[in-house]
Structure 1
C-alpha cells in the first residue's frame, strides 16, 4: 500500500483518481493506522474512535443548550494553539478522555484534533441558528474533500465561476502539504470561511478523526488519498444518478 502511495502522490489532484469500492477504501484508510497502533503496543487503538465520540457529544451539548457563549469563546481560539487561550480550558477539557492528555503539559495529537475541529465548528456556526441551521452533520463520509467539491459546485451555479473547481483543488493541495498543525489549521480556516458563506455542512467528528491521523507520517498519505477520492467521487455519484 505504501509503495502504491509513493508512486502516486496523494496531493496530485490533477490526475484522474481510480475510485475504489467503499470496502477497499476503508481497508486502505485504516491499514496504516492499525499498523502504527500495533507498533505502539496497542495502547491507543481506541483513540481514533474516542475522538469522534468526544467531538460529537461536545457539539450536541452546545446545540441542545443553545450555548452561543461557548461558541463565542471557541472562536477566540482561532489562530491559536491549544493551551494559549486559558478561557477555553473548561470548554475543551471537561469530559475529555484523560488518555488524550500529556502529564508533561505538552499538547497531544488528540488535543490538537479536538481543538481544531471544535474551534472551526464555532467559526462555521457563527451567524447561524444552532437548532435550525447547525453546520455539523452526522452524515457519514462528509469529509473536507467532498465538502470542497460541493463548494466548487455552489460557486459555479449557472456557470458564474467556471474556475471554482480548479481553485478548490489548489486549496485542497495546500491543505495536504501542510508541514505542521498551525499550517493545517490555517488552511482549514480559509476553507471553512468560504464554506460557511454557502451554508454547506461538515461532519466535524470525521474531520477531527482525519486530523488525528494526518499528524502521523505513516497515516497521513491515507488521509490525503481519502480527501482526494472524496473530491472526485462526487462526480461518479452524480453520473450514476443521471443514468437512473
Structure 2
C-alpha cells in the first residue's frame, strides 16, 4: 500500500465521476449482475478467476479503474486502491437503483447515515437499540476487505430502502475509508483503527446544530 495521501486522489476520482451517467450506469449493471471482485490486470477477469456476469459493465468499470494513476494499479492482483474504488462504485450503483434522489451526498459519512437510519427506524424509541446498530458493529469490527464488503452491501440495502426515501452516503469518502482500512504498512498501524473510530464518532455525535448565543441567553 502506497502513501496514505493517495486517498485524496481516490476521493477526487470519485467526486468527478460518481455523478456521470456512463460510470453510474455501468456500475449499476455491474452491481446487479455481480458483487464480486475488481478486474485484475487488463484481462477484465475477477481476481478469483471468475468472470462477472455482466461483461459490458465489467469492461466499463475496468476502464475507469485502469484510468487511475499507475501507482494505484495492482500488478498480479487488485491493489488496495482498486478494491476501494471498485467497491465504492458498485455499492453506489446498488444504492442508486430505485431512488430518484441522488444517493451520493458529500459530508454524509457512513456513521451519520447509519444514525439517520437508526433514528427513522426507532419510532421515537432509543435509536441505540435499533437492529441496524448491531449490523453497524459487525461492519466496524470486520477485518478482511471481503468481510467488510459483505457487511457494507447489507447496510447499503437498508439505506436504499429506508422509510421516507433512501438515505444518501458520501461515496468518495467511503472509498477513502475502504482504502485506509486495508493499510498494512507498520508506519501507519493505527490507520484502520482511526477509520473505525471516525465511523463511531460520526454515529454517536449529536447531529443537531448547537444553539447560537441568542438562544443560550433566552
TM-score by length of structure 2 reads 0.77
CA distance in 1, matches of 2:30, 2:23: 14
1:123 aligns with 2:97: no
CA distance in 2, matches of 1:93, 1:150: 35
CA distance in 2, matches of 1:232, 1:99: 36
CA-CA distance at 1:90 after TM superposition: 2.5
Quote the residue 1:51 is aligned against. 10
SS at match of 1:99: helix
Quote the residue 1:75 is aligned against. 32
**1:70-94 deviation per Cα after TM superposition (whole angstroms, max 9, x unaligned):** 522343232x121222541332433
Quote the residue 1:111 is aligned against. 82
**1:46-100 deviation per Cα after TM superposition (whole angstroms, max 9, x unaligned):** 41111101122221222xx69645522343232x121222541332433322221
CA-CA distance at 1:145 after TM superposition: 0.9
Quote the residue 2:178 is aligned against. 211
Change (3 A) 1:241 1:154: farther
Change (3 A) 1:222 1:70: closer
CA-CA distance at 1:239 after TM superposition: 7.1
CA distance in 2, matches of 1:69, 1:120: 12
Contact kept in structure 1, 2:17 and 2:23, CA below 8 Å: no
CA distance in 2, matches of 1:211, 1:66: 19
Q: CA RMSD in A?
A: 2.4
- Structure 1, unaligned runs of 5 or more: 1-39
Contact kept in structure 2, 1:75 and 1:120, CA below 8 Å: no
CA distance in 2, matches of 1:241, 1:71: 41
SS at match of 1:154: helix
1:135 aligns with 2:107: no
Flag the structure with more relative contact order, 1 or 2, with Cα contacts below 8 A and sequence separation at least 6: 1
- Structure 2, unaligned runs of 5 or more: 40-45, 47-51
How many aligned residue pairs are there?
Answer: 189
SS at match of 1:238: coil
CA distance in 2, matches of 1:93, 1:192: 25
- Structure 1 segments (4+ residues) deviating >6 Å: none
